[in-house]
């Protein structure tokens, strides 16, 4: 009897003592897990009580201190489910399971005993305490070995409780159930077939517990069996031969391949050890003893060895072993740049070599293989060279176009050779090639033509200007000499006008120029290099003579005569501005040197006449009167605009009269002028006589000297003595009768080659110099006579050094 039942009996006994009437008891049977509010039974009807009695007696349920699962509805007289009833929680495995309580009434006080039996339903499946069980069984265990299993628990009772077990799969084990005296069932697992770990190292079984309810419920537990190994199998390589490849530049520690060997044994019996026997390649490779990873321990070089064969031995802890082979193929990488070797090289090549001339031969080596060893060579840009391959390893550098030393005297040829590897490697070498010069460029003047200016009356030997030519060649081929080409100016050789310095190209004036005689002239200068054969070019030079104010004005009108008096007649009736006459003058200079102005210098009566400043017109400036003198003498000065200016004067006689007889009577007083003219004529005749005497004297002297020389030469000829020619000093004479106001002494030595010409210039002499030449026939008075002497090839002036 349970404790709860005893409590109810005690309670009923106490109630019996306190009430006078007990009408009876009623029992009900309901299944567990009924819904809340479900009707258990009509207790008023079952006890024979009316609903009014339940109301008036304030019927209520008394359960003591236990939980109330049932409630009373007095209005209806029924018992209802107040809360869900779980038989397993309420009674566990106790059978039968019932709720006992009392219904109490008042006025009069009554109570009734009510029993509600809770019937079990199959609402709990069998369960195992653990979800899985693990066993370790050696594969050497014998058949019949028993292994106790955990039993299942089912909270339901009776037919709903645990009924049977099932084990699946049942290949190696069978299930044995043993019933005990307390009604429980003991379950065991029996080995029926010997285990093989190499086939099934782990075995998973499902133990199922079944109850007898309807519907039938079950619970499961997983049984994990680990089969322990026995060393009954040798290790076996997964492949008898492994093939792997590795690049030659792989770093130390690079994994090449993994050798795999399996031993179907377990634990130490299945632990495989890998080893490489000592060999020539043992220092390059190493294998991990535990996992069979083959790694690189040294540096490979494809160019030295391309294939390695390694024997790998695998063994377990029990001494069983196997062997396999690893073939390592070394793959080439582009780790060698091309090597450039110069077989033959020209340091210098002439600029006139033909295109296609070989200047360098190269041998290119690349020890790599396939594309890594294929080499292609190129040259740097903008060089007149190309490179060609004669064979796979031989290249030639040759000229690709014409060379020009004047543009590039030296070429730096960079040969770059690259292989076809990825990434490509390259090498380069720079070849320095000197280009030797040939005379292929003529001198070139800085200008296409030259024009220079020189002021007249220059000093002979004056440097006018310099022509300059450049030759793009080198050394002797670029050495320029300047030559004055033969030509003539107004029938006179140009060499009598100018000379050219052969080395510097400086043009000197040989003579003093006169603008009034020659205003400009031109000639050609040739520039010739020192090559063989020499090349030359020429240029035209134009010399412009610039005027100096070296000529005074010349009066053309009125004409000045020595013996007669010319006068201009002005009538006394002449008005203001009357044109008396016009002074006409010219100046052979040019430019502003020839601009003339007229001024009245002296006059008998300055208030009567004036002279036009620009036109030279003499006009009256007031009315002529009777008081004015008949004879008027005007002195007019004509000036040019040069610096310094030069001038000329003219005397104009003016007669103020209305009739010619009046004029004659006034001008008869000019007798002193006739006397002056006679005196001048006397001096001129005297001068002519003196000059004639001097000329005859000089002529006699020259003839005497000629005869003396002839006699001396005859004497020396007959005496067989060496003849020493005697050359007296030479002189030049220039009178001041022309427009040249300066006289110079100079010596000229000329040859047909202007490069050997020389000039020596002296300083200026006096304005009028008379220099006698014993071999000459007279005095040189004009510059034209000097030209004639200079032009004679055998003239003493040319021979004089």
* CA dist., res. 744 & res. 740, Å (int): 11
pLDDT of residue 719: 45
* Mean pLDDT rounded to a whole number for the chain: 80
85-100 pLDDT per residue, tens: 888 888 877 788 888 8
* CA dist., res. 300 & res. 518, Å (int): 97
CA angle 251, 256, 260 (to 5 degrees): 150
pLDDT of residue 528: 94
Cα separation values, 702 from 672, 688, 707, 772, 774, Å: 46, 21, 9, 10, 5
User: Distance between terminal CA atoms of the chain?
Assistant: 177
Choice between 628 and 780, residue whose per-residue pLDDT is larger: 628
pLDDT of residue 302: 87
- In sign, the C-alpha dihedral spanning 175, 177, 178, 182 is positive
* CA dist., res. 202 & res. 200, Å (int): 5
Token readout for 232 is 């009954």
469-527 pLDDT per residue, tens: 999 888 999 899 999 999 999 899 999 999 999 999 999 999 999 998 899 999 999 99
* Nearest CA among 466, 463, 432, 433 for reference residue 447: 466
* Nearest CA among 781, 666, 671 for reference residue 732: 781
Share above pLDDT 70 across residues of the chain, in percent, rounded to a whole number? 82
- Burial (CB count within 10 angstroms: exposed 0-12, middle 13-18, buried 19+), residue 304: exposed
Cα separation values, 584 from 594, 607, 615, Å: 13, 23, 8
Mean pLDDT of 429-451: 91
Q: Point out which residues pair with 543 in neighbouring strands.
A: 452, 521
Q: Above 50 in pLDDT, residue 793?
A: no
Choice between 746 and 35, residue whose per-residue pLDDT is larger: 35
At residue 677 the predicted structure's pLDDT band, cuts being 50, 70 and 90, is low
pLDDT of residue 348: 92
Residue by residue, what is the 3-state secondary structure of 54-81?
A: HHHCCCEEECCCCCCCEEEECCCCEEEE
Choice between 753 and 557, residue whose per-residue pLDDT is larger: 557
Q: Above 70 in pLDDT, residue 798?
A: no
Mean pLDDT of 573-580: 88
pLDDT of residue 183: 64
pLDDT of residue 520: 94
Q: Above 80 in pLDDT, residue 671?
A: no
At residue 182 the predicted structure's pLDDT band, cuts being 50, 70 and 90, is low
250-297 pLDDT per residue, tens: 899 999 999 999 888 877 888 899 988 776 576 889 999 999 999 998
pLDDT of residue 429: 93
* CA dist., res. 202 & res. 172, Å (int): 12
* CA dist., res. 96 & res. 157, Å (int): 10
Mean pLDDT of 318-339: 88
Q: Above 90 in pLDDT, residue 17?
A: no
Mean pLDDT of 624-643: 88
> For 538-552, 610-624, 626-640, 707-721, which range has the lowest pLDDT when averaged over its residues?
707-721
pTM for the structure as a whole:
0.43
Q: Above 50 in pLDDT, residue 13?
A: no
- Burial (CB count within 10 angstroms: exposed 0-12, middle 13-18, buried 19+), residue 678: exposed
* CA dist., res. 731 & res. 770, Å (int): 9
pLDDT of residue 722: 40
pLDDT of residue 668: 56
Choice between 180 and 740, residue whose per-residue pLDDT is larger: 180
Mean pLDDT of 159-175: 86
Most confident of 149-153, 202-206, 733-737: 202-206
At residue 534 the predicted structure's pLDDT band, cuts being 50, 70 and 90, is very high
At residue 665 the predicted structure's pLDDT band, cuts being 50, 70 and 90, is low
206-256 pLDDT per residue, tens: 989 888 888 888 899 999 998 887 777 888 999 999 999 998 888 999 999
* CA dist., res. 315 & res. 7, Å (int): 78
């Amino acid at each position: 009897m349970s404790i709860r039942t005893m409590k109810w009996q005690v309670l009923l006994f106490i109630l019996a003592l306190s009430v006078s009437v007990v009408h009876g008891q009623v029992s009900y049977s309901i299944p567990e897990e009924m819904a809340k509010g479900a009707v258990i039974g009509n207790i008023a009807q079952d006890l024979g009580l009316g609903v009014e009695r339940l109301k008036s007696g304030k019927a209520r349920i008394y359960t003591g201190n236990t939980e109330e699962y049932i409630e009373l509805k007095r209005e209806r007289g029924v018992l209802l489910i107040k809360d869900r009833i779980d038989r397993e929680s309420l009674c566990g495995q106790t059978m039968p399971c019932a709720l006992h309580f009392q219904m109490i009434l008042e006025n009069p006080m009554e109570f009734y005993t009510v029993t509600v039996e809770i019937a079990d339903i199959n609402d709990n499946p069998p369960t195992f305490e653990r979800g899985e069980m693990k066993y370790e069984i050696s594969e050497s265990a014998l058949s019949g070995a028993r292994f106790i299993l955990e039993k299942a628990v089912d909270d339901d009772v009776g037919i709903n409780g645990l009924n049977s077990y099932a084990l699946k799969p049942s290949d190696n084990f069978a299930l044995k159930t043993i019933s005990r005296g307390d009604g429980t069932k003991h379950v065991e697992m029996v080995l029926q077939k010997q285990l093989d770990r190499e086939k099934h190292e782990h075995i998973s079984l499902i133990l199922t517990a079944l109850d007898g309810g309807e519907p039938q419920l079950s619970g499961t537990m997983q049984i994990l069996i680990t089969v322990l190994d026995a060393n009954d199998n040798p290790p076996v390589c997964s492949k008898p031969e492994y093939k792997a490849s590795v690049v030659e530049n792989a770093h130390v520690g690079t994994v090449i391949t993994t050798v795999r060997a399996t031993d179907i044994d377990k634990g130490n019996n299945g632990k495989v050890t890998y080893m490489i026997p000592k060999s020539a390649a043992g220092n390059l490779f190493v294998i991990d003893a535990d996992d069979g990873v083959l790694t690189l321990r040294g540096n490979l070089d494809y160019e030295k060895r391309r294939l390695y064969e390694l024997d790998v031995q695998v063994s377990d802890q029990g001494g069983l072993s196997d062997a396999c082979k690893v073939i390592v193929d070394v793959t080439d990488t582009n780790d060698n740049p091309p090597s450039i070797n110069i077989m033959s090289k020209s340091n210098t090549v002439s600029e006139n070599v033909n295109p296609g001339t070989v200047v360098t031969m190269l041998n290119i080596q690349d020890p790599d293989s396939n594309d890594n060893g294929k080499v292609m060579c190129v040259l740097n840009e903008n060089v007149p060279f190309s490179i060609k391959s004669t064979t796979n390893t031989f290249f030639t550098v040759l000229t690709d176009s014409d060379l020009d030393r004047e543009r590039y005297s030296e070429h730096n040829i960079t040969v770059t050779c690259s292989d076809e590897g990825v990434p490509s490697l390259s090498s380069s070498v720079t070849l320095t090639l000197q280009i030797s010069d040939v005379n292929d460029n003529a001198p070139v003047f800085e200008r296409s033509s030259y024009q220079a200016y020189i002021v007249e009356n220059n000093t002979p030997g004056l440097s006018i200007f310099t022509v300059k030519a450049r030759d793009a060649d080198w050394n002797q081929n670029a050495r320029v000499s300047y030559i004055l080409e033969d030509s003539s100016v107004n029938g006179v050789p140009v060499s009598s006008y100018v000379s050219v310095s052969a080395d510097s190209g400086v043009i000197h004036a040989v003579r003093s120029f006169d603008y009034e005689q020659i205003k400009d002239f031109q000639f050609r200068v040739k520039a010739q290099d020192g090559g063989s054969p020499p090349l030359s070019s020429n240029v035209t030079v134009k010399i412009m003579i610039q005027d100096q104010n070296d000529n005074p004005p010349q009066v053309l009108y009125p004409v000045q005569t020595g013996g007669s008096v010319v006068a201009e007649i002005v009538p006394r009736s002449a008005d203001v501005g009357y044109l008396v006459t016009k002074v006409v003058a010219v100046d052979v200079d040019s430019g502003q040197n020839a601009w003339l102005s007229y001024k009245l210098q002296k006059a008998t009566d300055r208030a009567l006449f004036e002279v036009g400043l620009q036109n030279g017109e003499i006009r009256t400036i007031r009315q002529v009167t009777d008081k004015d003198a008949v004879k008027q003498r005007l002195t007019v000065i004509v000036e040019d605009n040069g610096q310094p200016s030069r001038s000329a004067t003219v005397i104009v006689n003016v007669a103020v009269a209305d009739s010619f007889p009046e004029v004659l009577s006034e001008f008869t007083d000019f007798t002193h002028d006739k006397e002056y003219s006679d005196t001048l004529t006397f001096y001129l005749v005297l001068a002519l006589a003196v000059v004639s005497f001097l000329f005859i004297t000089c002529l006699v002297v020259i003839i005497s000297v000629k005869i003396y020389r002839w006699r001396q030469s005859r004497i020396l000829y007959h005496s067989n003595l060496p003849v020493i020619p005697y050359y007296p000093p030479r002189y030049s004479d220039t009178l001041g009768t022309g427009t040249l106001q300066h006289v110079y002494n100079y010596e000229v030595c000329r040859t047909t080659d202007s490069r050997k010409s020389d000039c020596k210039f002296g300083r200026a002499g006096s304005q009028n110099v008379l220099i006698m030449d014993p071999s000459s026939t007279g005095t040189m008075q004009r510059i034209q006579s000097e030209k004639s002497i200079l032009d004679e090839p055998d003239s003493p002036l040319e021979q004089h050094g």
